[in-house]
Each structure stands twice: as C-alpha cells, then as structure tokens.
C-alpha cells in the first residue's frame, strides 16, 4: 500500500521552506510512486516554471546554486523515463515557461 505524502504541494509553495528542501521534495515527488499528488507531473512542471519565471522576472531572489539546481531538475524531468512513460499513456503536460526572454551577458 502506497503512503500518502501529504503537504508536499504546500511545502513547495511555502516561502518559509528553504529552496534546497524544495528541490529535494520536488525530486522525491517526481521519482516516488509513493507520492500520491493529484496531477503530480503537471503540478511539478508548474512549480518549476513558476520558480524559474519568478527568479528571472526578479520577483524572487535566489542564490546561483539554487537557480542551477532548478535548471538541473527541469532537465532531469524533461529527459526522464517517467515523463516519456506518462506522455506515451496519452497524458498531456503543459510547460508554461516565460524565461525565453532572458538575456545572457
């Protein structure tokens, strides 16, 4: 019987949860079949999109190590077997990421 890990979504959204912990929670939620979060894949894509967009629109200040961790997490889930499996089952996941306007110096 799978355990219900409650509160992960709230912890990800909570400004008091340290970003390092948020990344660990998001990684756990993605890979764990025991994390029963409704519409989990979309929730996690929305969370990572919101986090990166918040940083690049200067609404959220994050240490560079956290920003790198967010990008690595996004890359990991985009290349995961789990995402491939979810999409091959006919599910649709939207990635709303408005960071394409970022200019690199």
Q: Is the pLDDT of residue 72 over 50?
A: yes
Q: What separation in angstroms does the CA of 92 have from each of 42, 52, 102?
A: 9, 21, 26
Say how far apart CA 76 and CA 35 lie, in whole Å: 18
**Mean pLDDT in residue range 55-83:** 92
Sequence-distant (≥ 6) Cβ neighbours of residue 27 within 8 angstroms: 73, 76
Q: How confident is the model at residue 97, as a pLDDT?
A: 64
Q: How confident is the model at residue 95, as a pLDDT?
A: 75
**Mean pLDDT in residue range 63-91:** 92
Share of the chain above pLDDT 90, in %: 44
Task: Give the pTM.
Answer: 0.81
């Amino acid at each position: 019987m799978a355990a219900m890990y409650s509160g992960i979504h709230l912890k990800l959204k909570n400004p008091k949860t340290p970003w390092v912990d948020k990344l660990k929670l998001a990684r756990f939620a993605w890979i764990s079949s025991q994390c029963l979060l409704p519409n989990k894949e979309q929730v996690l894509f929305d969370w990572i999109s919101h986090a990166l967009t918040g940083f690049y629109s200067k609404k959220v200040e994050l240490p560079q190590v956290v920003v790198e961790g967010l990008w690595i997490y996004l890359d990991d889930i985009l290349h995961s077997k789990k995402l491939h499996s979810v999409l091959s089952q006919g599910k649709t996941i939207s990635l709303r990421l408005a960071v394409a306007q970022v200019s690199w110096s």
